[in-house]
Structures are given as structure tokens and as C-alpha cells.
Amino acid sequence: MSNIVKDLNSTKIEEFAAQLRGQITLPGEANYDEARKVYNGMINKRPGMLVKCVDVADVIHSVNFGRENNLLVAVRGGGHNGGGLGICDDGMVIDLSGIKFIRVDVASKTVRVGGGNVWGEVDHATHPFGLAVPAGIISTTGVGGLTLGGGVGHLSRKYGLTIDNLLEADMVLADGSFVTVNENQNSDLFWAIRGGGGNYGIVTSFKFQAHNVKTVFGGPTLWPIEKTEEIMEWYHDFIHNSPDDLNGFVATMIIPGPPFPEHLHNKQFCAIVWCYVGDLDKASEVFAPILAKNPLFAHVGEMPYPAIQTLFDGLLPPGMQWYWRADFFNELGAELRSQHLKFGSSIPTPLSQMHMYPISGAASRVGETETPWAYRNANYAGVIVGVDPNPSNAEKITKWCKDYWEALHPYSSGGAYSNFMMDDEGQDRVKASYKHNYDRLVEIKKKYDPNNFFRVNQNIKP
């Protein structure tokens, strides 16, 4: 059993605070409610203490304080986790949002990033050099959580998952020690953090390989929801046979309002969001077969990479209710497509949606044991999200999401991408998601965190 912060005497807390350059926030203080907010408004946890770290020393002191006082500890990067794994009740939150720095090394095309940065900050820093690090599709997501879970996004087919571009990390471990991990140093840990989440320690700095990506050609194409089965059948063949330069994820969604034209508002669609990073002179040729499918609406064109990364930020501000369910899929067969049509036609609120991200191209050429990310051979990482600003709709979006998932799950490959899972899915789901890599993850956990100090995550039990 963990102790809870409120049982610690105040001298102990004062002594700890005196060691820090960062800030402690306790219940009852003016900024407590602001500090404990995470992206998902459905999460309402009340930690006993939040520690906003500003450097590695703060992280070491916090880990030691948490361990010596037997506290439950959550680690917060960008705070985006659907299940709210960046926060906990009663225990201590080690908040990394004060550890932000980015240094682009133009000669080696590598980027050093702080453990508390978010992806929009990285894109902003790399773009003037014509470089980008593969990440997700929303710029407010944390570098920490997204990377440690895998990282699927617009550049996955061309340059692999985010973990495939991780070269090195600095970490504070459960015993308070500080290590650097890469292919040559602590290589077992380096393997484990490329998908194994926050189970192994706190990453204070990441080093990524960046790539020449400046202007992309992309955007959404929409078809009436009635065409879902036809479009998904065509899409499956098309995307996996396209050059790696082209990425596109397929979705069922409602167009909620501006910036889309009014005639589309509040209608359901089968959508594909494209991102092409090849020779721009060939873009119209690449997009010709897509436009030949006669989308009702196509808003594709050249844009700076940070623009595609922020395309949906405005629609999805923090604080809304989110409920997630996910699975990997190999196929998009007829039965599955008919379920997408059925549930895509009954999306309960304008922002609720389903996405299937293609896992092909470079992301699929990494071996299934090279990183913990076990589903390199699945064709899709699928996710269903019930989203709405109004808490009174929480039940409605949760039910739709679960029902949709239940209908798809029999056709899935078994596990899910850990970053798309909630916090209540159980150990069997975690095991299924790491498949043949789970046992090795357990061995490394036993070596570096035998007491499961880092357990507010998709937990690998030692």
C-alpha cells in the first residue's frame, strides 16, 4: 500500500520544497485546480502534491522523495493521455512541463528535446531548417507519452514510428540514478522505452533523428457516410500499395462546423486525411486516383508541415470529455466495413470519431522484436473516440465507443496501441498489446524497477 501525501508532516514537505528550483502545488492552494487539469476533461483526479520540475535535479529529488515516502507517483509529460495516466489521486505528480528545451543540430539533422515539450514546439523549432521528426496528428500532444508508447502519425509510412527515430534518451530511474540510453549504453533500457511507455523511468531529454520535410501536400477528402464500405475497400488496396511518400488515415466522423463549408456541417462522412511528402511536382499525379473517387469535398494542397500538424488543434481544445477504445487490424474486410458504416452513421456527438492509421511502409519494415511495439505486421492501428464538451454527454459517448469497439473487436489482431488505451482495460489487454515482447519487458522491469515505482501507466508488472 502507498502512503498518501496528506499524511506526511509539513516539515518533510518543506524540506523537500527547499531542494527544488521548481514549484510544489498542494490541495487548497489557489492554482491547485488549474494544475491538476489534464487534457481529458473526464479525468478528475486529486493528487496530494504536484511538483513542477524545471531540471533533472528536480526530477531526481522528486523520485527520491516519492520512493522514500512510499508515495504513489504519476509522471506527467503533455497531459494528453486518454486514460489520464499523467495524474493520480492522493499521491505525487511529477510534472515535466517545466523541462522544455529544443536544440536542432542541422549538420546531423538531429534534435534534442526536453521531457516536457509538446510536439507543436518541436515542429516550430525544426521547420525553419526544413526538418521534422515523425510524431502524431495533433500539435498539443506531449513528446514524452507519445514517444514512449510508439508514435503514429502523418510521417509513419515514410519515416517510421516516432520510436524508430529515437536515437538516445536521458533518464532518471526508480532508484534516483541518472542514465543515458542508446544502442550502445544501457541498450536493454533503450529497447524497452521504445514502446514500453513510462514503465522504466522518467525521460528528461530525447534525441531524435529528423528528416527533410518542409512543405507537404495533403488535407482531408470526404465522402458521404453511405459510401464508407466502397471507399474503405478501395482505400485498403490503394494505401498499402502506394509509395511510402503518401500517408492517409481513414476515419468516420461528423463535420462539426467551421472551417469547413456550411453545407457539410453536422453530416456524417467517411474521411481520409492525406499527407504526401514526396516530390511536389508529382503531387497532382499521386492525387489523381484519389480525386477520381469523386469525394464530395476535397481540401488538399500544399502546406507547411506545421500546418498539417495543427489542422485539427482548433477543433479539439483541452478540457473536453474523451472516451477511447482501440485495436490493431490486419484487414478491412466486408464485415468490418459494414460495422464502420453502421457505427459511422450513428456517431453520437459532432466531435466523436473513428480513425484507422496505416501501419505500412517504413513503420512495417522494423522487425516485430526490434522494439516492444509488437504489431508491425498489422495494417492498421484503429481507435474510436467519443468526444464532447458537455459532461452530461459522457455516458452517451462512452456507450457508442464501447459498442463500436465490441462490434469491431472480433475482426481485430488482438491487442491495441498502448497510447490509445484507457486506464481501465486490465492486464490481459496490456499483455495482448505487447504480445511476444511482454516477457522481455517484464525482465527489464524487474531489473530497473523491481518495486513497480513507475506504475501509473499501461503497467508492465515486474
CB 416 within 8 A of CB 149: no
Closest distance of CB 29 from ligand FAD, Å: 21
| String of contacts with ligand FAD for each residue 389-408, x by CB under 6 A | --------------------
Name the β-bridge partners of 95. 52, 76
Among 148, 216, 232, 283, which residue sits at the site for ligand FAD (rule: CB under 6 A)? 148
CA dist., res. 73 & res. 95, Å (int): 10
CA dist., res. 179 & res. 184, Å (int): 12
Name the β-bridge partners of 74. 93
Q: Is 85 near ligand FAD (CB under 6 A)?
A: yes
Closest distance of CB 176 from ligand FAD, Å: 15
Span interacting with ligand FAD, options 72-80, 281-289, 295-303, 424-432, rule CB under 6 A: 72-80
CB 278 within 8 A of CB 213: no
Closest distance of CB 317 from ligand FAD, Å: 10
Beginning with the edge strand found earlier in the chain, give each strand of the sheet holding 73-76 in spatial order: 23-25, 49-52, 92-95, 73-76
Among 79, 218, 220, 344, which residue sits at the site for ligand FAD (rule: CB under 6 A)? 79
The three three-digit cell numbers of residue 376, written as one number: 508491425
Beta-strand pair 49-52/92-95 = parallel
- One-letter amino acid of 262: E
- One-letter amino acid of 95: D
CB 210 within 8 A of CB 110: yes
CA dist., res. 347 & res. 326, Å (int): 16
Size of the site for ligand FAD (CB under 6 A): 35
Q: Is 386 near ligand FAD (CB under 6 A)?
A: no
Nearest Cα residue to 373 out of 193, 127, 175, 168: 193
Span interacting with ligand FAD, options 1-9, 141-149, 268-276, 372-380, rule CB under 6 A: 141-149
Q: Is 39 near ligand FAD (CB under 6 A)?
A: yes
Q: Is 163 near ligand FAD (CB under 6 A)?
A: no
Q: Is 77 near ligand FAD (CB under 6 A)?
A: yes
Span interacting with ligand FAD, options 80-88, 372-380, 390-398, 400-408, rule CB under 6 A: 80-88
Q: Is 232 near ligand FAD (CB under 6 A)?
A: no
Number of other CB atoms surrounding residue 28 within 10 Å: 6
Q: Is 387 near ligand FAD (CB under 6 A)?
A: no
Residue 441 has what DSSP assignment? H
Q: Is 76 near ligand FAD (CB under 6 A)?
A: yes
Q: Is 419 near ligand FAD (CB under 6 A)?
A: yes
Residues engaged in binding ligand FAD (CB under 6 A): 39, 75-82, 85-86, 96, 115, 136-138, 141-142, 144-146, 148-153, 197-198, 202-203, 316, 419, 456-457
